[in-house]
Amino acid sequence: MSLRHRVLELAQDYRRAHAPLTPERLAGGIGARLAYTRLPEGQFGTFLPEKKLILIEQTSPPKRQRFTLAHEVMHFLIQHDEDLLSELHETHTGQALERQLEALCNLGAAEMLLPGEAVEAALGQKGQTPRLIPELAERYQVSEEVAIIALAERGPIPSLVLMAGSRPLRVYFSAHHPQLEGRLARGMGFHRNDPLVVAAETGLPQHIQTRLPNHSGLYSLEAYPKGKRVYAVYKRLQP
């Protein structure tokens, strides 16, 4: 079984054992307490194992706080799963290991809060569209990050899923299918002719074949502007 499958199973077991996953129950499941405080810039949460205490950034929106909390719980669960941990260390080192661990914690956190079956059902009904990001987030009361991770993981065609916002437009959050290398860093900007910028400025959805900024290969892009944000799915057309 792949690392990702094992992480999904860990998350599913945790959800079943501790539902409903209120913040207190999420932290309590690993015997931790929860406190809301100010953390250094760019940090949303942290776990202090010696104190059995999870700290969450108090100014984050509540849904984002819940996602961060689930992420910290995943760190704990992975840390205490010897098989998973040794496989992770066998297959990755250095920075790649760090990145992989963060991605796995995100994946597990998303699965805890938004069950895979719900995502599969929505994909079956509406296809792999960025419209599902705000829809799933609203319907299941999860942060949009959670919906993005779940769609990138479960979309039938390997794709990169993201949301962007602000002016000039920049990436808020992105996730990609395990078979894709494409990673767009948080804060990355776009060329002024980029279809995402066009979607943001005109308020019109864009369907276009394009390249992913900083990556090779051709993608089929659907960009969906809503409110102050643009949601996008880049589906890979060529390996």
Per-residue binding letters, 47-86, with Zn ion (x by CB under 5 A)? ----------------------------------------
The Cα–Cα gap between 160 and 221 comes to 9
Nearer to Zn ion among residue 30 and residue 132 (C-beta): 30
Smallest gap from Cβ 218 to Zn ion, in A, equals: 33
Both tokens assigned to 85: 């941990």
Phi-psi region of 129 (alpha: psi -120 to 50; beta: other; left: phi over 0): beta
The Cα–Cα gap between 205 and 208 comes to 10
Size of the site for Zn ion (CB under 5 A): 2
Nearer to Zn ion among residue 106 and residue 206 (C-beta): 106
Could you give the count of Cα atoms lying within 13 Å of 157 in the half-sphere of its Cβ?
Answer: 13
Smallest gap from Cβ 58 to Zn ion, in A, equals: 18
Q: How many CB atoms lie within 10 A of CB 165?
A: 16
Smallest gap from Cβ 102 to Zn ion, in A, equals: 5
Question: Binders of Zn ion among 5-34, rule CB under 5 A?
Answer: none
Nearer to Zn ion among residue 105 and residue 112 (C-beta): 105
Contact 190, 174 (CB under 8 A): no
Smallest gap from Cβ 45 to Zn ion, in A, equals: 8
Question: Binders of Zn ion among 184-203, rule CB under 5 A?
Answer: none
Both tokens assigned to 165: 């916002």
Both tokens assigned to 40: 């250094």
Nearer to Zn ion among residue 98 and residue 181 (C-beta): 98
Stated as kind and residue range, the H or E segment containing 226 is: strand 218-226
Nearer to Zn ion among residue 105 and residue 150 (C-beta): 105
Residue 43 is given by DSSP the state -
Question: Binders of Zn ion among 88-117, rule CB under 5 A?
Answer: 102, 105
Smallest gap from Cβ 105 to Zn ion, in A, equals: 5
SS3 for 70-133 is HHHHHHHHHHCCHHHHHHHHHHCCHHHHHHHHHHHHHHHHHHHHCCHHHHHHHHHHHCCCCCHH
Nearer to Zn ion among residue 92 and residue 215 (C-beta): 92
Smallest gap from Cβ 49 to Zn ion, in A, equals: 13
Smallest gap from Cβ 72 to Zn ion, in A, equals: 7
Nearer to Zn ion among residue 13 and residue 102 (C-beta): 102
Residues that bind Zn ion (CB under 5 A): 102, 105
